[in-house]
């Protein structure tokens, strides 16, 4: 399979469409790190090739998406998120982060992104194939740190290039695929059925028999 993505010197994901041809692309293989050349001729499909001419690496699309999502969030330093479960407001909000660190250990867990916010920190977990399990959720609850999980599985099913501006907009602005893991959403109030109506029988008069 042809390689259509690589990483630049800043370790950012780039598409073959975004770079100059030849070695001017100044890029490296996403998988093995070898320098690559951008093949952008007139006949063949544009792609990256190892400078050593070895066979193209097999690049997992899930890994590409996971890296790209972290990249765009760190570049934007913000996300549109649903309202917090314990908030009176039910409106989506744009959260701004003063600082973001990827893969930083906090206690015994290592979130995808640790974001600095006004009142402390929050965790951002990017889910493509693996999601927060019970053990990790227990650790998050123990730390008491706000945590959002972003489900990007559907993005792989759409006809959207990764990386691209369209994919970037989806990651930053789509809300239906984002859920708060902590604070835990309150349980839904039980539905209490209305009391059963007791039929009212018509009043009947009884006449006493004369003695």
pLDDT of residue 78 exceeding 80, the answer is yes
Summarised one tens digit per residue, pLDDT across range 109-154 is 999 999 999 889 999 999 999 999 999 999 999 999 999 999 999 9
Give me the mean pLDDT over the 155-181 stretch: 95
Summarised one tens digit per residue, pLDDT across range 51-65 is 999 999 999 999 999
Contact 139, 126 (CB under 8 A): no
pLDDT of residue 81 exceeding 90, the answer is yes
SS3 annotation, the chain: CCECEEECCCCCEEEHHHCCCEEEEEEECCCCCCEEEEECCCCCCCEEEECCCCCCCCCCHHHHHHHHHHHHHHHHCEEEECCCCCCCCCCCEEEECCEEEECCCECCECCCEEEEECCEEEEEEEECCCCCCHHHHHHHHHHCCEEEEEECHHHHHCCCCCCCHHHHHHHHHCCCCEEEEECCCCCCCCCCCCCCCCCCCCCCCCCCCCC
For residues 148 and 158, what is the distance between their CA atoms, to the nearest angstrom? 23
Average pLDDT taken over every residue of the chain = 91
Per-residue pLDDT, 87: 84
The residue ranking higher by pLDDT, 189 or 6, is 6
Per-residue pLDDT, 43: 86
Summarised one tens digit per residue, pLDDT across range 19-39 is 999 999 999 999 999 999 999
């Amino acid at each position: 399979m042809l390689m259509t993505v690589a990483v630049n010197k800043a370790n950012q994901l780039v598409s073959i469409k975004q770079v100059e041809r030849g070695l001017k692309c100044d890029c490296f293989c996403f998988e093995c790190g070898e320098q690559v050349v951008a093949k952008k001729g007139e006949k063949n499909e544009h792609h990256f090739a190892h400078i050593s001419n070895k066979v193209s690496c097999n690049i997992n699309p899930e890994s590409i998406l996971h890296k790209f999502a972290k990249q765009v969030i760190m570049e934007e330093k913000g996300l549109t998120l649903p309202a917090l479960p314990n908030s009176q407001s039910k409106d989506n909000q744009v959260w701004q982060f003063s600082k973001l660190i990827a893969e930083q250990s906090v206690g015994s867990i290592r979130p995808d992104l640790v974001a600095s916010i006004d009142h402390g920190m929050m965790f951002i977990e990017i889910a493509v194939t693996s999601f927060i399990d019970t053990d990790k959720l227990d650790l998050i609850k123990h730390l008491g740190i706000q945590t959002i999980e972003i489900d990007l599985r559907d993005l792989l099913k759409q006809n959207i290039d990764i990386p691209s501006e369209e994919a970037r907009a989806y990651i930053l602005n789509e809300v239906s695929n984002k859920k708060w893991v902590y604070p835990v959403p309150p349980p839904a109030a039980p539905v209490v059925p209305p009391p059963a109506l007791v039929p009212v029988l018509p009043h009947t008069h009884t006449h006493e028999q004369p003695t």
